Amino acid sequence: MSETLLITGAAIEGSDRADIVVDGGRIVEIGTGLSRAGATRIDADGLIALPGLVDLHVHLREPGFEASETILTGTRAAAAGGFSAVFAMPNTMPVADNAGVVEQELALGEAAGYATVQPVGAVTVGQKGERLAELGAMASSRANVRVFSDDGSCVADPLLMRRALEYVKGFGGVIAQHAQDPRLTEGAQMNEGVVSAELGLAGWPAVAEESIIARDVLLAQHVGSRLHVCHLSTAGSVDIIRWAKARGIDVTAEVTPHHLLYSDEKVRGYDARYKVNPPLRRAEDVEAVRAGLADGTIDIVATDHAPHPEESKACEWHAAAHGMVGLESALRVVHKTMVDTGLLDWADVARVMSKTPAGIGQLPGHGEDIAEGSGAELTLYDPNVKGVFTTADLRGRSENSPYLGDELPGRTTWTIHRGRVTLADGEIVEQENA
């Protein structure tokens, strides 16, 4: 059950301070000097109130890979990072390519109670890129799937991609493409460039991403459908998205926190925590994706939270799995790379980490302005502290975070989901009768 909360003195989206009363799972009053008999009081003096964060790109691993993460542990990690909703990618076992699996994921999220879990459906059966999955059945299921992706694999066949774009147009869906030409990245180990040449590792060229994006924005224009580009990582990709938007093509794009912060120089130590798909790029690309997020070319930040057990990372670089966990650290990294640099303000953060991702994913009840009558999905964040990121900050099942040992600003202190506190003063609140 939700509770009555009185949040006092919060700076709403970093602006005016106000009190917020939550009751019945909704925001019922905003003002100054408010009181409410019997309410649980949260002193938010010095804290920023944001609409609950929404992550359009998360790997929760369940069903099938519970050694890495479960929907319960993954949503606890989400709550710790200020997220009240996550979109679960379909590369599970079995693959989420039918109504049964996506409805199972939805039910597990509801039972956990820490965040809304919105399943993403696979584009192709088994994510094999051979024939379309049951897109319509997933869309009409209880999970109400509107985002489809073969993330982890590219829909490389242009005819199949065209058919997918045409199919989802009928019910307002969106295809989220993992832009990676498989032929151009065979055997690739890291970004192709000076560092890969010096280390003798097979290079992953930027054009492998950019060529797929260029093809797909033209396909989206041709059929009049919606395209979303996952984890954009290169300066050339930013240029293509900017060009497409100028032509009125219905395309959106995301960038990850790690591509906002790190360059391929991190690979010099062969620490597999930095092995990710797409790879960490050049410093010039880092600057370009920051600028693209700042000017609106890139629409949102999404974590690509990808947990792995220790043995998948504590090995030789070439054998290590791709991926990083990122839910608990995302807001702090965006604070460091975008707010402290003056590229975004806190209202912008609310836009790229809550409002716009909820809009792209068509997720009702999330990404709303903090206003009377809105759903009580809230994040309270302390921007005035800083600290070294450690395993104590992690709440999921895996510890493959690239940020361990890094000093990061800020701290997520409270997360409220459907009017219920899931994170209180930085500590996970055990959920009963979720």
Q: What is the DSSP letter of 380?
A: E
3-state secondary structure 365-376: CCCCCCCCCCEC
160 near 124, Cβ under 8 Å?
Answer: yes
With contact defined as beta carbons under 8 Å apart, do 238 and 289 qualify?
yes
285, 304, 348, 393: which is the annotated catalytic residue? 304
Letter string b/e over residues 327-346, b meaning 16 or more CB atoms within 10 A of that residue's CB: bbbbbbbbbbbbbeeebbeb
**What angle (nearest 5°) sits at the alpha carbon of residue 150, between those of residues 52 and 80?**
25
Please indicate whether residue 348 is annotated as part of the active site. no
* Tokens at 208, concatenated: 């492998």
Q: Which among 382, 228, 352, 246 is positioned nearest to 290, based on CA atoms?
A: 352
Residues sharing a CB contact under 8 Å with residue 14, sequence separation 6 or more, in sequence order: 48, 345, 346, 347, 349, 383
Segments in 71-127 forming alpha helices (H): 71-80, 99-112
Question: What radius of gyration do the chain's Cα atoms show?
Answer: 21
Catalytic residues: 304
